[in-house]
């Protein structure tokens, strides 16, 4: 063939590859209101920025930009053998992940697959293992983001599970190890696909997912917003976005949104473990990670789910040089046999370990309660907190005044002529003497007691002071976090 024929053949093959599983299957997806694998990529990336690698075999791979920053991407194509993973499919994904590591850029996976390609047997299983290995090697080096836009079942779920963030599309994305039919056969339980592994389930009950989008477009927009807060790799600083007025004061109606730039708080796992808030924001243009007890739910206590949720978020921020700002209002750990039998000792230690291990700038604001061991855990001065602030309303003590008085002065209260009045007097005396921020400030555990209206400028000033912070942990292969 001559040059013209070769070019024509190349063009024909490219057109054929663009059709994925064929026009009929593409038309069926459009009728279902779903985007194709290539359309999803185009919608996520900056217009015209996508540079594809080789087309074909159930996955679209390549690189492009989001807000001008390089990202690598693979998008599974359900129209080709149900998006099932073959040896060639896995090789394409592995190449993209290896390139992302070399280039120091995030990798994004758009998942919509029926699982392993049965016809290829152990070759497809080997392909999954190759991807799993890359997930682990890339962890803490480049951000890894998984978007579940269709089925993700069986062993395939372990790749998203090892990435940094999982986003799911409501009503179309689902994840599970064994499906409803297998569960019905083995355990005789009746459960729907959505109940077992839908976006609502994994965002509210299991805690497997971090975000839920109303539809595909909403979910892909969340990916772009998420990336705006985090660096491209572990050697970069988080993106800086100029702000108009870094000295703007706030009122206390909504602490976090009133303090951060433009009131923009991008919350992670919003519907899971609602007694603790985790998410990204900016202060003076700088990206920060926020961890905050939520008194409006379970009084802000720490329990198993809250500890695990916050620990993972803290460790992500530490991996990628994102400063941590912690708002504390915690009455302690949740009591009860369910928590004790469930391993609250081990799981609570995960959050303590994460804060102790973190070497990024750590700033803490105690707004009200900071009782017992939970005070220590929530980024206290004793575990390398850099700047620790408190409001005049802060109560820092071993336990709340009521509980402390009941234990310390039990005999005095019983002997009193008016036990209720005596107890009330002792509680007031305890609160005045111990349950306040002044004793902790005298001991150097609190750097400043400030008015709430001064929070924003103080935090921005602290971040500026700490922007070149350098701290190191002792040399070692790795720590042994209590998993």
Task: Give me the active site residues, please.
Answer: 154-155, 373-374
Helix (H) / strand (E) element for 376: namely helix 372-377
3-state secondary structure of 127: helix
How many helices (DSSP H) and strands (DSSP E) are in the chain?
A: 20, 17
Query: How many Cβ atoms are within 10 Å of 96's Cβ, its own excluded?
Result: 22
Dist CA 128 CA 243 (whole Å): 44
Is 191 exposed, middle or buried (CB count within 10 Å of its CB: 0-12, 13-18, 19+)?
middle
Left if phi > 0, otherwise alpha if psi is -120 to 50, otherwise beta: which for 243? beta
Query: If DSSP codes are grouped into helix, strand and coil, which group holds residue 69?
Result: strand
Tokens found for residue 427: 């509680």
363 within 8 A of 323, measured Cβ to Cβ: yes
231 is written with which tokens? 């660096």
Alpha-carbon distances, residue 181 vs 71, 178, 264 (angstroms): 38, 8, 43
The whole-angstrom separation of Cα 86 and Cα 111 is: 15
- What are the respective helix, strand and coil percentages of the chain, to the nearest 5? 45, 20, 35
Q: Which residues of 200-237 are buried (b: 16+ CB within 10 A; e: fewer)?
A: ebbbbeebbbbbbbeebeebbebbeebbbbbbbbeeee
* Burial of residue 121 (number of CB atoms within 10 Å: 0-12, 13-18, 19+): exposed
Phi, psi of 211 (to 5 degrees): -140, 150
- Here the tokens at position 243 are 């702000």
Nearest CA-CA partner of 100 in 62, 121, 72: 72
8 Å CB contact between 357 and 398: no
Give the torsion through C-alpha atoms of 442, 448, 453, 458, to 10 deg. 180
**Structure token digits, residue 142:** 């480049």
Given the structure tokens 């900016």, which residue do they identify? 282
């Amino acid at each position: 063939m001559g040059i013209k024929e070769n070019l024509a053949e190349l063009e024909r093959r490219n057109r054929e590859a663009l059709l994925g599983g064929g026009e009929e299957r593409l038309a069926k997806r459009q009728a279902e209101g779903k985007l194709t694998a290539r359309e999803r990529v185009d919608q996520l990336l900056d217009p015209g920025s996508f540079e594809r690698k080789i087309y074909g075999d159930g996955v679209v791979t390549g690189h492009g930009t989001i807000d001008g920053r390089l990202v690598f991407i693979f998008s599974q194509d359900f129209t080709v053998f149900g998006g099932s993973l073959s040896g060639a499919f896995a090789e394409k994904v592995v190449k993209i992940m290896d390139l992302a590591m070399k280039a120091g850029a995030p990798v994004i996976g758009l998942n919509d697959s029926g699982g392993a390609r049965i016809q290829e047997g152990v070759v497809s299983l080997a392909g999954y293992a190759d991807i799993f290995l890359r997930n682990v090697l890339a962890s803490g080096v480049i951000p890894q983001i998984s978007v579940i836009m269709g089925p993700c079942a069986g062993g395939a779920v372990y790749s998203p599970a090892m990435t940094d963030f999982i986003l799911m599309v409501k009503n179309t994305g689902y994840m599970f190890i064994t499906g409803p039919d297998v569960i019905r056969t083995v355990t005789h339980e009746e459960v729907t696909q959505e109940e077992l592994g839908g976006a609502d389930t994994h965002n509210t009950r299991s805690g497997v997912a971090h975000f839920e989008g109303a539809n595909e477009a909403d979910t892909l927009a969340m990916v772009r917003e998420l990336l705006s807060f985090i660096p491209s790799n572990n050697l970069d600083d988080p993106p800086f976005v100029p702000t108009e007025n870094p000295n703007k004061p706030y009122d206390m109606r909504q602490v976090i949104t009133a303090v951060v730039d433009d009131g923009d708080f991008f919350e992670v796992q919003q519907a899971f473990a609602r007694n603790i808030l985790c998410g990204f924001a900016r202060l003076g243009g700088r990206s920060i990670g926020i961890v905050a007890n939520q008194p409006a739910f379970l009084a802000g206590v720490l329990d198993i789910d809250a500890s695990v949720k916050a620990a993972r978020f803290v460790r992500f921020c530490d991996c990628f040089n994102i400063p941590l700002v912690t708002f504390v209002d915690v009455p302690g750990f949740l009591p009860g046999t369910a928590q004790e039998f469930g391993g609250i000792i081990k799981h609570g230690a995960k959050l303590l370990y994460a804060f102790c291990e973190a070497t990024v700038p750590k700033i803490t604001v105690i707004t009200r309660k900071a009782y017992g061991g939970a005070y220590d855990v929530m980024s206290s001065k004793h575990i390398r907190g850099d700047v620790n602030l408190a409001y005049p309303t802060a109560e820092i003590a071993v336990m709340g005044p009521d509980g402390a008085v009941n234990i310390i002065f039990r005999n005095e209260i019983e002997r009193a002529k008016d036990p209720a009045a005596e107890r009330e007097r002792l509680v007031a005396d305890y609160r005045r003497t111990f349950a306040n921020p002044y004793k902790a400030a005298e001991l150097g555990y609190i750097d400043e007691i400030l008015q709430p209206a001064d929070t924003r400028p103080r935090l921005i000033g602290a971040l500026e002071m700490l922007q070149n912070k350098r701290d190191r942990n002792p040399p070692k292969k790795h720590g042994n976090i209590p998993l």
